[in-house]
Amino acid sequence: MVGASSLQSRIFSSFVGDCLVQSTQPLSQLFHYNPGRKHVSMQFSRSLSGLTNLLFSRRSNLDEVPNSKRKRLRPGKLSPRRPVPDHIKRPPYVKTRMAPGIATGPEVHDLEGIERMRASGRLAAQVLNYAGTLVKPGITTDEIDKAVHEMIINNGAYPSPLGYGGFPKSVCTSVNECICHGIPDSRPLEDGDIINIDVTVYLNGYHGDTSATFFCGDVDEEARKLVKVTKECLDKAIAICAPGVEFKKIGKTIHDHADKFGYGVVRQFVGHGVGRVFHADPPVQHFRNNDGGRMILNQTFTIEPMLTMGNINPVMWDDDWTVVTQDGSLSAQFEHTILITEDGAEILTQCEA
């Protein structure tokens, strides 16, 4: 959505660089952006501890990743936007073709809303599971997008990323050093790659949001360990969730576990409330922080830690979406949508056994 080399007092939701602040302004009014330049700043109605004066670097011109045989990612060609049948309900932002305003307040549901969240989460999990089976050397990320798109619309749902603030595809595919928001294109996956696939579906007026990192072919042990620890961070964070728990405990839990293995925790992208809107309060930070706020019964939100083997500083490509590590080091991510229950947390985005 925006390409930036300098950001002030800004955090991103994990899908779109959509700042989760108490504001009803559309993103175009929140951002101060000059097309053709790589600078963007943002006005906030509240301060965000530890996230002031964040810097995005310009894309590196180096092809080789230091101390690795792997080459840095480069963008491929994009296929045309895929159609969605007219009878499928679209989120409001698709109809307006404008970036949505920032939703304030938590997503808290009645019994009917909970059942709809379960349905959307279940479908998102099934789509993600299917997408993972497609990962193999030689398949393009565009082919994965096509399969995901077709499965979602065949189930009567809308692929939430498609058209969100101009995003051109139905899923995010983030390969190797891509932290998040990778746009599916003509690049074939290679043996040894890792790929995060981020699926969100809009079903019966509710979004279900999930992602996982998959292995492509013969993946080395260092990459496998990064992926394993990232999944453990998510699992440990979900385990501490319950009514009344402070959100900052999520960040501490993730950061503490990542530190044991020397991995970096990306700070610029966060989890978020999700339900009737794609992104809502609260911003769920994955690193140690002192933010306030406690979990509420029947609330839904995502947790989606992003860990790196090296530098945590992000670099945004010229497409204004794709975000990669500054040093080309690998990044992994896992995500679930959860529901706060009387007994703790229910994972809404996992396939039933």
* Numbered residues of the known binding site: 181, 198, 209, 272, 279, 304, 335
Query: Six-digit token pair at 15?
Result: 């899908």
Bind-site residues for substrate:
181, 279
Bind-site residues for a divalent metal cation:
198, 209, 272, 304, 335
65 vs 74: CA distance, rounded Å: 12
Are 267 and 341 in contact by the 8 Å Cβ rule? The answer is: no
Query: Six-digit token pair at 217?
Result: 């072919």
Query: Six-digit token pair at 272?
Result: 């978020």
Closest CA to 208 of 109, 89, 335, 121: 121
Are 292 and 22 in contact by the 8 Å Cβ rule? The answer is: no
Are 88 and 157 in contact by the 8 Å Cβ rule? The answer is: yes
